[in-house]
Structure formats: structure tokens, C-alpha cells
């Protein structure tokens, strides 16, 4: 990954933090905890926790105060992937070139692992030490994560996605799906980082929302482009009729060239917001690097 040195450092940091949280779980030898560990530590881009760190870093928040929200949002993301992969949803057998949770541990264990990771994300925010964060902002962080992951966020996007299967929907409806399904948790990551900084961070949330909304949508458009341009042998195996292959995508609705132009426009929009913050003497280097990574990644 083409992260700068700071982002590489945070990438390594969140892996250590996640390993530590998982190592403290009870019932270590059960398939449930093994499935949780497998799904969280399988790898991945760690985009959401990196956004927490990058936003907090910009606001001069100490790393130790960012560990809990970064870990919480990655556990929430891992839960969503487990459930997305289930036979009843996308029926995927591969995730990051490895067996999906239900394929390795069974559907029953995968459902429980997803449920447990969802509740673990809230437990981390409730019980962890977060130096410098007052109770009011900790509660706001819990509310934000709940809002982004439930009907108003990911789950809402998931149902909109499911009911649109096999249909050619409008571009406005496609964007609505992805603003909920993918964008909500990306926006939440940035907000969690801002909330750790207190009033200063809260004041910046309107501008930060514009940034995260742009990169959140760019992330999904890039996913759609990768799905149609990568070699078929390297694509995830979709085994259920009506899976993602039969869902509307940006290249399908507006064409590949227009999709690439849309990503560029969204990227430029995100940079314009960061430029406003830079003029206020905030160091947006890491947020810029993450925005660049989203549009240049190849997986």
C-alpha cells in the first residue's frame, strides 16, 4: 500500500491494538472467539481506523486516545463483512483471498461472530480508557457509531441494496444505497476522530462530513470499477444467483469513463475541503494520503 510513513505506523498500531482487545476475550478456545479473531485479523486496508487516527492526529489528539474508537469501528466493519458474506446475503466464499468466516467455521458460528463483534465495538467505546475525552463526547461517540451501523446507516443501506437486486435503478438511488451502506461508516470514522478532540473537533464536523461523504462515495465507485476491470480469476467468487453481479453499478449506469471522471471529481472535492482546513493551520497530510489511496488502490 502506498501510505506515507505515518500511515504505515498507524496501520501497524491498529493491528496491535486489535490483537490486544481480542486476546482479552473469554472463551478463547471456542469456535466463536476463533472466528472473531480470524475475521478481524485476516487483514484488510484498515481504512476506517486509519481515518480515525488521521483525523485525531490533525487535531493534535494523543494516539492512546484514538486507539479505542479506531478499534471499535474496525470491529463494527468486520461484523458487517461477516454478515454480508453469508449465504442469505452475498454468499461469498472468499474474502481477501481467504475463506470467508461462514465457509471456514460454519454459518451458525459466523452469525454469532458477527453479533459478538458488533457488541464488542460498543464495549470497547464504553469500557476503554480514552484519556482527555469527557463523558459527553464518549456518549456522542457511542451514538455516532450506533447511528452509522443501524437502519440509519449500514443496515439501512444493506436492505436498500437487497431490494434492488435484479433491477436497474437510477443513479440517485444507487448513491443513496452507498451513502448508507459504505459511506455512513466512513463518515463515522472521521467523526469519531473529531469527537476525541472535544469542541474543536465538533466545530469541524460539517466540513469533515463533506470530506468523508466525497471519499466514501469515491470508495464505492472505485470498487465498482475494479469489479469490471480486474481479471476474472482475481475477483471474489460469487456463487448465489442474484449476488452482486446482478446489482446495479456505476459503470453499468454511467459507463466506465464517466465513472472514472466521477472518482476524479469526488477526489478533487475532498481535496478542496482539506485545503480549507489547511488554511486554518491544520495538518491534513494523512487525510490527503488516505483520499489518494482510495482512488489509486488496485483491490
**pLDDT tens per residue across span 198-228:** 999 999 999 999 999 999 999 999 999 998 8
Separation CA 263–CA 242 (nearest Å): 27
What is residue 6's predicted lDDT score, i.e. its pLDDT?
79
Asked if 265 and 279 count as a contact pair (C-beta separation under 8 A), the reply is no
298 burial via Cβ count (<10 Å: 0-12, 13-18, 19+): exposed
Cut 0.85: pTM above it = yes
Separation CA 81–CA 42 (nearest Å): 12
Domain boundaries of the chain, sorted by first residue: 5-296
Strand partners, 54: none
**pLDDT tens per residue across span 107-116:** 999 999 999 9
Averaged pLDDT, 22-39: 96
List the one residue out of 87, 12, 110 whose CA is nearest residue 53.
12
| CA atoms lying within 13 Å on the CB side of residue 228 | 19
Asked if 111 and 139 count as a contact pair (C-beta separation under 8 A), the reply is no
The CATH H-level (homologous superfamily) assignment of domain 5-296 is Farnesyl Diphosphate Synthase (1.10.600.10)
What is residue 231's predicted lDDT score, i.e. its pLDDT?
52
Amino acid at each position: 500500500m502506498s501510505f506515507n510513513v505515518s500511515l504505515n505506523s498507524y496501520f501497524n498500531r491498529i493491528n496491535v491494538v486489535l490483537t490486544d482487545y481480542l486476546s482479552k476475550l473469554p472463551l478463547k478456545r471456542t469456535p466463536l472467539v476463533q472466528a472473531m479473531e480470524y475475521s478481524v485479523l485476516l487483514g484488510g486496508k484498515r481504512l476506517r481506523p486509519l481515518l480515525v487516527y488521521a483525523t485525531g492526529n490533525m487535531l493534535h489528539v494523543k494516539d492512546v486516545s484514538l486507539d479505542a474508537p479506531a478499534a471499535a469501528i474496525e470491529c463494527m466493519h468486520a461484523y458487517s463483512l461477516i454478515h454480508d458474506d453469508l449465504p442469505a446475503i452475498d454468499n461469498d466464499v472468499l474474502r481477501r483471498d481467504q475463506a470467508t468466516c461462514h465457509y471456514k467455521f460454519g454459518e451458525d458460528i459466523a452469525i454469532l461472530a458477527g453479533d459478538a463483534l458488533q457488541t464488542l465495538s460498543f464495549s470497547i467505546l464504553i469500557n476503554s480508557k480514552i484519556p482527555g475525552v469527557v463523558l459527553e463526547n464518549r456518549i456522542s461517540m457511542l451514538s455516532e457509531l450506533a447511528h452509522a451501523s443501524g437502519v440509519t446507516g449500514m443496515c439501512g443501506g444493506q436492505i436498500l441494496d437487497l431490494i434492488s437486486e435484479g433491477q436497474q435503478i437510477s443513479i440517485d438511488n444507487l448513491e443513496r444505497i452507498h451513502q448508507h451502506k459504505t459511506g455512513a461508516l466512513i463518515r463515522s470514522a472521521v467523526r469519531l476522530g473529531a469527537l476525541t478532540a472535544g469542541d474543536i473537533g465538533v466545530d469541524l464536523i460539517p466540513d469533515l462530513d463533506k470530506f468523508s461523504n466525497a471519499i466514501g462515495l469515491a470508495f464505492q465507485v472505485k470498487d465498482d470499477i475494479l469489479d469490471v476491470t480486474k481479471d476474472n480469476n482475481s475477483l471474489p467468487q460469487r456463487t448465489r444467483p442474484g449476488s452482486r453481479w446482478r446489482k446495479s453499478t456505476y459503470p453499468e449506469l454511467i459507463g466506465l469513463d464517466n465513472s472514472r471522471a466521477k472518482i476524479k471529481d469526488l477526489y478533487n472535492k475532498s481535496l478542496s475541503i482539506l485545503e480549507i482546513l489547511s488554511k486554518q493551520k491544520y495538518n491534513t497530510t494523512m487525510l490527503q494520503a488516505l483520499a489518494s489511496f482510495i482512488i489509486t488502490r488496485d483491490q
